[in-house]
Amino acid sequence: MKRPIRSTLVVSLFVLVLCLLAAETLIVKVQSTSLRKNPKFYAPALLTLGAGEKIEKISSQEGWIQVRTSKGAVGWIHSSAVQVQKFDLMAMDAKMKTQASASEVALAGKGFNKQVEESYRAKHGEVSFVWVDKMLLIKIPDSRVEEFMRQGKLGEFRGAR
């Protein structure tokens, strides 16, 4: 009689631990970001992550989080690029809620989105978005920023000769 209870307990605890670990799931909230080899912006990028992708937290240090992707890649991501996925056990009855929370809206791509902008632009032909789109194309590679900082003795290159 004693043994089955003990194994039940072990299994239950194991499952509980798994559930708690699942709570450490993070969701990428920016359009795209790099999974980096080391915890700094100009560290080599291993791959690109997009909005809504789920990743698993392994550890963290000074604003950076070490994560594992669903395909098993491990690297670093800045904490400002992700949000914690939360479960709500009390919100099981969908009918109780008539309004969406911020993360639901984010995941569904709702709210002020492309469709709303298109509608605004159709109404305001005089407002040009040409330079807004050009502005978004300005990309300074991280490697260039690193060189710029090295030359200007900024960041980790402070006091360097």
Partner 1 sequence: MNKTKTLALTVGFFFVLAFLAACSAVQQGADILAGTGKISESDRKAIVRTSEAVRSSFADITEEEEYYIGRGVAALILSRYPVYDNQALTDYVNTVGKAVVYSSSRPEIYAGYHFLVLDTEEVNALSAPGGFIFISKGLLRRCRNEEMLAAVLAHEVGHVCARHGLQSIKKSRLIDAFSLIGQEAAKRYGPQQLAQLTTIFEGTLGDIVDTLILRGYDRKFEYEADELSVKFTAATGYTPQGLVDFLRTMVGDSSAVSGKGWFKTHPTSEQRIERVKTQAAALGGSLVEEPARTKRFHQTLAGLK
Smallest distance, Å, CB 90 to partner 1?
7
What sign does the dihedral 63-67-70-74 (CA atoms) show? positive
State which residue, 58 or 144, has the beta carbon closest to partner 1. Answer: 144
Instruction: State the minimum distance, in angstroms, from the CB of residue 66 to partner 1.
Output: 16
* Lateral strand order in the sheet of 54-61: 45-50, 32-36, 74-78, 64-69, 54-61, 25-28, 82-84
Least spacing, CB of residue 58 vs partner 1, in Å: 18
Collect contacts of 62-71 with beta carbons under 8 A, ≥24 apart.
64/39, 64/40, 65/26, 66/39, 67/26, 67/35, 69/35
- DSSP state string for 66-81: EEEETT--EEEEEGGG
Amino acid at 92: M
Judged by beta carbon, residue 47 or residue 87, the one nearer partner 1 is: 87
- Cβ proximity to partner 1, 38 vs 80, nearer residue: 80
Using the minimum distance from each CB to partner 1, give the nearer residue, 37 or 153.
Answer: 153
CA atoms of 132 and 121, how far apart (whole Å): 13
Output the smallest distance, CB 51 to partner 1, in A.
Answer: 7
Strand partners, 91: none
Least distance in Å: CB of 95 to partner 1?
Answer: 10
